[in-house]
Amino acid sequence: MPEQIQSTRIPSYYSVSFWRRWAKLYDRVVRLSFVPFGGEKRFRQKFVAMAGLKDTDRVLDICCGTGSTTALIAPEVCQGQVIGVDLSPDMLAVAQKKNVAAWVSFQRASVDALPFSEGVFDHVFCSYGLHELPREIRAAALKEVRRVLKPGGKFLALDYGLPKNIIFKLPISAFVRLFENDTAYKMMKGSLAAEIIASGLDVIFQKRALGGMFQIISSVKTTEAGNLD
Ligand SMILES: C[S@@+](CC[C@H](N)C(=O)[O-])C[C@H]1O[C@@H](n2cnc3c(N)ncnc32)[C@H](O)[C@@H]1O
C-alpha cells in the first residue's frame, strides 16, 4: 500500500478560497464548455481509454479536482486502487461524493510533494491540472510523478494545446487569456512534452485533440539503462 502521510503545505501561488468558490460551479461550467465538442464525459472517456488500464492497476490522479476523471478511471481498476490528490478541500468534497467505490480514496496534498513512497503506482493521470502550476512547481510535480511511478509505469496528461490552425488557435488563446492565468498561457505556448522529458520520463506519444486546443501526452518511467524492469 502507498504510504498515507497527510500533507497540507500550501504553495504561495495557490488560493484555497478561489477553489472554494469554483467547487460549486466547476462541474457545470466544464460540462457546458464541452457541449459544442461532443460532451465532456465522452472526451474524458477517450482520454482514460488511452492508458490501457488493467483491473488490478494502482492509479494516482493528480490535481483531481472534483474527481470527474477519477470517476472514469475507477471502474477500469475494480481490483486495484485509485487515489485522487488535490489541494482544495472543497473540490475534494465534490470528488468524494462522486466516487463512492471502496477502492477509491482522496488525499489533500500538493503535487510537488506527493505523500507516497517511490515506485508504487502503475499509472498517474493529470487532466487540466498542469497549466495551474507555476513552472518551477510543475517541474517539481513532474519529478514527483516519476518518483511515485513503478518502473514501466505511465503518466497520461491532458491539457491545453496551441493549435496550428487559426480557426482553433484564436478561440482557445482568447479563452486561456481571459479565464486562466499567465502561467497557463506560457505553458500552452511552450513545450509540455519537453518539460515531461526534462523530468526523466520518456514520451511515448503526443496527440492533439479538438483541433489542437488540447494535447494528450503519454510518457513512461524507464530506468537509467532504458529498461522497463
Ligand atoms: C482545472 S482543475 C482540474 C480538475 C480535474 N483534474 C479535472 O479534470 O476537471 C485544477 C485543479 O488543480 C488543483 N491544484 C492546483 N495546484 C495544485 C497543487 N499544487 N497540488 C494539488 N492540486 C493542485 C486545484 O485545486 C484544482 O482542483
pLDDT given at position 187: 94
Residue to mutate, 40, 132, 188, ligand 1, most ligand atoms under 8 Å from C-beta: 132
Domain boundaries, the chain: 16-220
Q: Are 94 and 66 in contact (CB under 8 A)?
A: yes
Contact 124, 54 (CB under 8 A): no
Q: What is the pLDDT of residue 67?
A: 98
- Amino acid sitting at position 142: L
What is residue 205's three-state secondary structure?
Answer: strand
| HSE toward the beta carbon, residue 53, CA cutoff 13 A | 29
Q: Which 3 state secondary structure label does DSSP give 104?
A: strand
Residue 2, pLDDT > 80, answer: no
What residues are in contact with ligand 1 under a 6 Å CB criterion? Answer: 11, 14, 19, 63-65, 68-69, 86-88, 91, 110-111, 127-129, 132-133, 137
**Cα–Cα nearest to 20, from 111, 88, 78, 83:** 88
Q: What is the fold, at CATH topology level, of the domain defined by 16-220? A: Rossmann fold (3.40.50)
Contact assessment for residue 228 and residue 219, using Cβ atoms and an 8 Å cutoff: no
Report which of 49, 64, 220 is spatially closest to residue 149, judged by C-alpha positions: 220
Q: What is the pLDDT of residues 70-124, one digit of tens each?
A: 999 999 999 999 999 999 999 999 999 999 999 999 999 999 999 999 999 999 9
Ligand 1 pocket mutation pick from 87, 127, 183 by most atoms within 8 angstroms of CB: 87
> What is the overall mean pLDDT for the chain?
93
| DSSP-assigned letter for residue 39 | -
Angstrom distance (rounded) from CA 143 to CA 59: 17
Atom of ligand 1 at shortest range from CA of 88: 25
Q: What percent of the chain has pLDDT over 70?
A: 94
pLDDT at 52: 97
